[in-house]
Amino acid sequence: MGVIKDILRTMDYGPSPEGSEHVKAWLEEHAGGFGLFVNGAFTQPRDLFEVFNPATGEGIARATQGSPADVDAAVAAARKAQAKWAALSGFERSKHLYALARHVQKRERFLSVLETIDNGKPIRESRDIDIPLVARHFYHHAGWASLIDSEFAGTKPVGVCGQIIPWNFPLLMLAWKIAPALAAGNTVVLKPAEYTPLTALAFAAICVEAGLPQGVVNIVTGDGATGAALVAHAGVDKIAFTGSTEVGRAIRKATAGTGKKLSLELGGKSPFVVFEDADLDSAVEGAVDAIWFNQGQVCCAGSRLLVAESVAEALYAKLRARMANLRVGDPLDKSTDVGAIVAPAQLERIKRLMREGEQEGLEFFRADESLPARGCFYPPTLVTGVEPASVLAREEIFGPVLVATTFRTPDEAVALANNTRYGLAASVWTENVNRALEVAARVKAGVVWINSTNMFDAASGFGGYRESGFGREGGREGLLEYRIADAPKIKPSSAKPARLNAAPGLLPARAVAGSELDRTAKLYIGGKQARPDSGYSYAVLDPAGREVGLAGLGNRKDIRNAVEAAAKAGSWGAATAHNRAQVLYYAAENLSARAAEFARRLRAMTGASARAAEAEVEASIRRAFVYAGYADKFDGAVHATRSRFVTLAMNEPWGVMGIVCPNEAPLLAFVSLVMPAIAMGNCVIAVPSASHPLSATDFYSILDTSDVPAGVVNIVTGEANALAKTLAEHDGVDALWYVGDAKGAAEVEALSAGNLKATWVSASAVDWRKAEGREFLRRATQVKNIWTPYGE
């Protein structure tokens, strides 16, 4: 211990340990091991695995390895409780969530210390960030629970939710998952990470103390096999997963075709962009929070520093000086800045990636590599001279490592920021507000912080683009993940699959029904009619088996060409919503002018009565008008989050969307699916009804005369499931809607795991007369939350 005069001179921090006696006593009470929490009670401990303190390597507890039978029991308890929980008034559910928030607050110190011992993060972070945010999420969603009926009219709870959380924010991730699920009227089975189950088990005890009804929350501990059993369980209606992209991809495949709702919050390689006019001292402090917070074990960590070349060396110098003052050590010391890596396996992964970086000849800086003699520690590290192709620039390190690359122009900065398969978050540092907002709009990320980083609040959605997953957690958009449309049940479709009578080139002339309508329809790609790459067409038959026309038999190459055309038309998304509305109104006007022609086509193809055909065309015109009206009225929001921040929730188009239409209502279904997508700024590749494609191919003459830019709508006819498979596999497709049969729906979901594109599938018949509204618009967009400083 130094003398006071020396401490005043050097201003060095001395040790400031946080007391842990109460946590140790609690752990000793459970020295025999922790059971599972099922149906409101703990089971007897068995099949135990060891839980370690990463800062010391010592075993601190033992938890039960959940089996498939345990998952069965937990799901059964959740199912039994769900109807009663959903039947409670919003006010009653609100009171339960409020009680959970209050009990968390009463035990803030206990939970903070337990989290730090179990996870290795500094006590300052557990105490000042994690646990207060846990309480905030339960308070916030207590409010939503009481507003469900008025704010989410026409929706109902999903049912039983399986939730799998990671080890980097064990209790906070639990709150992110459980609070909205309960507020929305669901029950849950949650599996915490194998490394860090203890605060979840402590929360289970809080559920008992707070009087939460039995079975509403169930917690099953275990390793990946337990999580896999939960994902595969037929009694689960929704899976919510936070973790690695690799596991998220496996979950997408496992849930394909099951009808389970799915949300994924996955990995990231987030850019931290510093322009030449930025306040460098503030940017340095931001970088400390971005990458050395929680030892860099943060999915949205600002791990890629992109800095203007003119200020790079000055920023690096400031960073090195700041790194020299970071204290690495005992996480229970209130003066510690960087704690322990969660487990030896994760520490070894970091070291392996760093060895690969060293082999590439990169420059490393570590202020002080003297680390505690025991435990899983890694020093804060700055790596400069990193090329975009470097393994350290591409791979998520998930450790306290900042990799730096320089840029010269704003365009280059945006290109580098988007040069990743991820898209979770970004941080932009500049004193130029116009530049900040321009870059925020162009960066492909679900969250953008301006002159700030790692800002979180229960009122704001959080989630990623691209291979960082889909779905949001927090705010209104997060709650919607736990509700589904309360639509009337419709009998499954009895329509038979289309018969594609393919033959080389043009088919021989035959007796044709309605010969005045006979034509060979081409594909429509990039604003032009195009012959199918296969050179084949197929006969379109009426219900009596008579040929009414020919349609092109599209293939993989045609889809490729259509995706390329759609990608080139990306400026459609940048057009004003008013301009998009005008185009849609114009299309509706032109369809109205040719209503009789389209009605005759429907009668010839489908055998519908004149009255029914006219009604379908009229409904299609109305549908186009509806989405023209919505184009400039589907607003974002300003979330009420932190003081002095405006958090903008912006609805952004996916980009390139695939749309596979059903055989039923061939014109109305086509219009009902394509119009909301393009109204929101997407460009689409539409596969129309395979049995009755000619209404859609006639529609491209409407597009030609309605100022729809080339490539915004592309139409590829042919066998629907084969083309859907190609769209699902294509990495250039950002989202895919499919209405068809169960086999096709399952295949679309499974194959979409390649680039984790968002999907919306239906294998049931749809009442297309009523199929419109905000749900279509919500599915046609993704939310970007932009945190902008406001005032002083």
Q: Averaged over 620-636, what is the pLDDT?
A: 94
Q: What is the dihedral of CA 87, 89, 94, 99, to 10 degrees?
A: -70
Query: Rounded CA gap, 96 and 84, in Å?
Result: 14
299 SS3 class: coil
DSSP 507: P
Residue entry with tokens 């055998």: 607
Tens-digit pLDDT profile for residues 111-145: 999 999 999 999 999 999 999 999 999 999 999 99
Helix (H) or strand (E) holding 610: helix 610-630
CA 789 to chain centre: 25
pLDDT tops 60 at residue 498: no
pLDDT tops 50 at residue 164: yes
672 close to 771: Cβ distance less than 8 angstroms: yes
pLDDT tops 70 at residue 500: no
DSSP 487: P
> SS in 3 state form for 138-169?
HHHHHHHHHHHHHHCCCEEECCEEEEECCCCC
Tens-digit pLDDT profile for residues 694-707: 999 999 999 999 99
Tens-digit pLDDT profile for residues 383-402: 999 999 999 999 999 999 99
pLDDT tops 50 at residue 726: yes
Query: Rounded CA gap, 697 and 523, in Å?
Result: 7
Which token pair is 717? 């006819």
What pLDDT, on a 0 to 100 scale, did the predictor assign at position 394?
A: 94
pLDDT tops 90 at residue 18: no
Burial tier of 59 (Cβ tally within 10 Å: 0-12, 13-18, 19+): exposed
What pLDDT, on a 0 to 100 scale, did the predictor assign at position 512?
A: 38
677's CB contacts (< 8 A; 6+ apart) are 657, 659, 684, 737, 780
Phi/psi of residue 502, nearest 5 degrees: -85, 150
What pLDDT, on a 0 to 100 scale, did the predictor assign at position 1?
A: 53
448 close to 428: Cβ distance less than 8 angstroms: yes
DSSP 40: T
Tens-digit pLDDT profile for residues 192-241: 999 999 999 999 999 999 999 999 999 999 999 999 999 999 999 999 99
Which token pair is 550? 């020919």
pLDDT tops 80 at residue 488: no
Pick the closest to residue 540 from 521, 554, 525, 559 (CA basis). 521
779 SS3 class: helix
Query: Rounded CA gap, 178 and 189, in Å?
Result: 9
Catalytic residue among 265, 614, 664, 729: 265
pLDDT tops 80 at residue 744: yes
Tens-digit pLDDT profile for residues 509-536: 333 344 444 468 999 999 999 999 999 9
Quote the crossing angle between the two packed helices 170-183 and 108-119, to the nearest 10°: 120
Q: Averaged over 176-189, what is the pLDDT?
A: 98
Number of H helices, E strands in the chain: 27, 33
Tens-digit pLDDT profile for residues 630-639: 999 998 999 9
Reported in sequence order, the residue ranges of 605-661 that DSSP labels E, i.e. its strands, are 637-639, 645-653, 656-660
Tens-digit pLDDT profile for residues 325-339: 999 999 999 999 999
Query: Rounded CA gap, 243 and 223, in Å?
Result: 13
Q: Averaged over 47-69, what is the pLDDT?
A: 97
630 SS3 class: helix
Pick the closest to residue 773 from 549, 622, 587 (CA basis). 622
Q: Averaged over 2-22, what is the pLDDT?
A: 74
Residue entry with tokens 């990623």: 464
What pLDDT, on a 0 to 100 scale, did the predictor assign at position 509?
A: 35
What pLDDT, on a 0 to 100 scale, did the predictor assign at position 8?
A: 66
Tens-digit pLDDT profile for residues 252-267: 999 999 999 999 999 9
What pLDDT, on a 0 to 100 scale, did the predictor assign at position 516?
A: 46
What pLDDT, on a 0 to 100 scale, did the predictor assign at position 483?
A: 96
Percent of the chain whose pLDDT exceeds 70: 94
453 close to 125: Cβ distance less than 8 angstroms: no
475's CB contacts (< 8 A; 6+ apart) are 458, 459, 460, 461, 639, 649, 785
What pLDDT, on a 0 to 100 scale, did the predictor assign at position 764?
A: 85
DSSP string, 394-441: HS---SSEEEEEEESSHHHHHHHHT-SS--SEEEEE-S-HHHHHHHHH
Place 770 in a pLDDT band, splitting at 50, 70 and 90. very high
**CB neighbour burial string for 618-646, b if at least 16 within 10 angstroms, e if fewer:** ebbbebbbbbbebbeebeebebebbeebb
Residue 265 bears catalytic tag: yes
What pLDDT, on a 0 to 100 scale, did the predictor assign at position 486?
A: 77
Tens-digit pLDDT profile for residues 537-583: 999 999 999 999 999 999 999 999 999 999 999 999 999 999 999 99
Q: What is the dihedral of CA 526, 531, 535, 536, to 10 degrees?
A: 100
pLDDT tops 90 at residue 41: yes
pLDDT tops 80 at residue 729: yes
Residue 161 bears catalytic tag: no
- The larger pLDDT score, comparing residue 131 to residue 487, is at 131
pTM above 0.85, yes or no: yes
Place 15 in a pLDDT band, splitting at 50, 70 and 90. confident
What pLDDT, on a 0 to 100 scale, did the predictor assign at position 790?
A: 85
What pLDDT, on a 0 to 100 scale, did the predictor assign at position 370?
A: 84
Place 171 in a pLDDT band, splitting at 50, 70 and 90. very high
Catalytic residue among 161, 207, 299, 300: 299
Pick the closest to residue 165 from 179, 155, 152 (CA basis). 179
What pLDDT, on a 0 to 100 scale, did the predictor assign at position 519?
A: 63
What pLDDT, on a 0 to 100 scale, did the predictor assign at position 10?
A: 64
Tens-digit pLDDT profile for residues 350-390: 999 999 999 998 999 998 778 999 999 999 999 999 999 99
Q: Averaged over 436-460, what is the pLDDT?
A: 95
Mean pLDDT taken over the chain: 93
Pick the closest to residue 430 from 645, 271, 279 (CA basis). 279
> SS in 3 state form for 428-484?
EECCCHHHHHHHHHHCCCCEEEECCCCCCCCCCCECCCHHHEECCECHHHHHHCCEE
85's CB contacts (< 8 A; 6+ apart) are 93, 182, 185, 186, 187, 213, 216
